[in-house]
Amino acid sequence: MTTIPKEGKWTVRMGEGNTIGIFKPLVPFNCLIDTDVGLIELIKDDYRSPDIFDIGLLDSFHSDKDIINTLYHRTTRNPLIPFMVNKEDVETANDLYVQFITKEYKSILERSVVTGLYRLLHYFTLSEEIAPMISYSNDIELEYIHNDIILKKVKEVDIEDITTVCNNMDMFFFKDLWDLYLQKSIPVLQSKNIIILDYGYNFNSNKELEVSDDSTLAEMNRCRFSIINAYNAKEIG
């Protein structure tokens, strides 16, 4: 069960949206629940392999906020790399990530935290003019949604059904530009508002939004890209 994040300064930066009638945003599960934090917490607790992970770094964190800060500003998509002894071994990092997500997802979710988008979704549920929907990718996430005090108020859609159910949605949120949710949504991303979370790895050295094959397709389909804070200032320290 999650709780609403504490109040603090946070900023939404987005382009023009649909202001007529009912506003319909689609928010993926991974924008609401930060499983990267849960993964690092799991490693810190149960997978303390000094030949793979920097145990000194892991033990230097005394709260979720410390881990959130590191993950929020990282420049690599794989959340394991900043915590590995050999940060150049991307192949091992990717293999480990798949293994953890495949075998330990429930344990990861138990240790995960909610993002600022969770509170935004809560605000959506309080408005009669906004009809949000949550997309999820597996039964574990669906169970989590049904057991959460806020998320269970929102209609949900399986990631595989986005193209048939979500064509009339106005705004699409994505964790990053290489996200599976973005890939699955491409067929319905025609003149839509796309909002990307502002994790460090989503930007190049010039602080400009990165480009992926899927984001290029969406832009060619006249979609508008904007940025939103994944966390407010207090949550990232």
| Closest CA relative to residue 36, chosen from 232, 194, 211, 176 | 176
More confident residue, 34 or 128: 34
Return the number of other C-beta atoms located less than 10 Å from residue 74's C-beta: 17
* Residue 184: partners with Cβ closer than 8 Å, 6 or more residues away: 159, 160, 162, 163
Which secondary structure element, helix H or strand E, spans residue 36, and what is its range? helix 35-46
Q: Does pLDDT of 64 surpass 70?
A: yes
pLDDT digits (tens, 9 = 90+) for 139-184: 999 999 999 999 999 999 999 999 999 999 999 999 999 999 999 9
Domain ranges for the chain, please list them: 12-34+113-236, 35-111
Question: What's the rounded Cα separation, in Å, for the pair 80 and 104?
Answer: 15
Specify the CATH number of the domain 12-34+113-236.
Answer: 3.40.50.720
How far does the chain reach from its first CA to its final CA, in angstroms?
A: 24
Could you tell me the pTM of the whole model? Answer: 0.90
Residues constituting the chain:
237
Of 13-22, 48-57, 84-93, minimum mean pLDDT range: 13-22
Average pLDDT over residues 4-32: 62
DSSP 75-103: SSSSTTGGGBS-TT-HHHHHHHHHHHHHH
Q: Does pLDDT of 2 surpass 70?
A: no
